Amino acid sequence: MKYKIFCDESNHLLNTKSNLMVNGAILVKEDEIEDINRYIKFLKYKHNYFNELKWTKLLNSKKEFYKDLIDYFIESEMRFKATFIPNKKDHNHSLYNNSHDEFYYIVYFYTMRNFINKSDEYKIYLDYKDINGGKRIKNLKETLGKQAKKCDVYIIQSQESQILQLCDIFIGAIGYKNRTDLDRKESKIKLFIIEYLEEKLGYPLVATAPWIEKFNIFRWYLG
């Protein structure tokens, strides 16, 4: 079987203000990609949504669009997996003989390990973040390629992929749900999306049991 995996991360750098780090991936059968992208574009057209889908650019007037998008994901065969780290700055990297950069790839491995097996082929797409993309491709291919029959890694811009944009919404929701800074200005549309997603899933966006396949959240406390 051939699959594509679309990945995104939030607050992956060590020197950001937030102590949260969320890494997410959506697994899709390769032969379903065209239909999925087409349907998400149809939903955008239906709701007059002409922007790129991003957690940081949500629109209060588009609640029905976000509901339709979540409903579509729930009813599809797509699977989502996130690794959520609430205390990234507390990790003693030297104790484990690695750096934060090396830890970044370990997090990616934990995010995608349940998606990959040796009998299948994968194309993995990462959202462009900075000029270190070439290094990420090389290291992730080395890390994940051993687990699959074939594994290729690519860097793309988020506007190129409807599925990557959907992944951004999911990791944004997990990060926002688990923020503890009391001085934040609460967003009604973000809370609405979180509540609707939790309602459809039947559990909070905090952590899930390992055997949950549709929308899995691995909560990793560092020491």
- pLDDT at res. 89: 56
Count of C-beta atoms within a 10 Å radius of residue 112: 24
Q: Does domain 2-219 have CATH number 2.60.40.1180?
A: no
Q: Report the interhelical angle of 63-75 vs 33-46 (nearest 10°).
A: 160
- pLDDT at res. 206: 93
Residue 59 three-state SS: coil
d(CA 217, CA 221): 13
> What are 198-204's contacts with CB under 8 Å, separation 24+?
200/70, 200/71, 200/74, 201/74, 204/177
pLDDT in tens, 192-201: 999 999 999 9
The alpha carbon of residue 47 and the mean position of all alpha carbons in its chain are separated, in whole angstroms, by 24
pLDDT in tens, 94-111: 444 455 566 777 788 888
What would the mean pLDDT of 143-149 be, rounded to a whole number?
74
pLDDT band at 48 (very low <50, low <70, confident <90, very high): very high
- The mean pLDDT of the chain is 84
Residue 137: pLDDT above 90?
no
pLDDT in tens, 18-40: 668 899 999 999 999 999 999 99
Count of C-beta atoms within a 10 Å radius of residue 59: 12
Residues 86, 221: contact at Cβ < 8 Å?
yes
- pLDDT at res. 168: 95
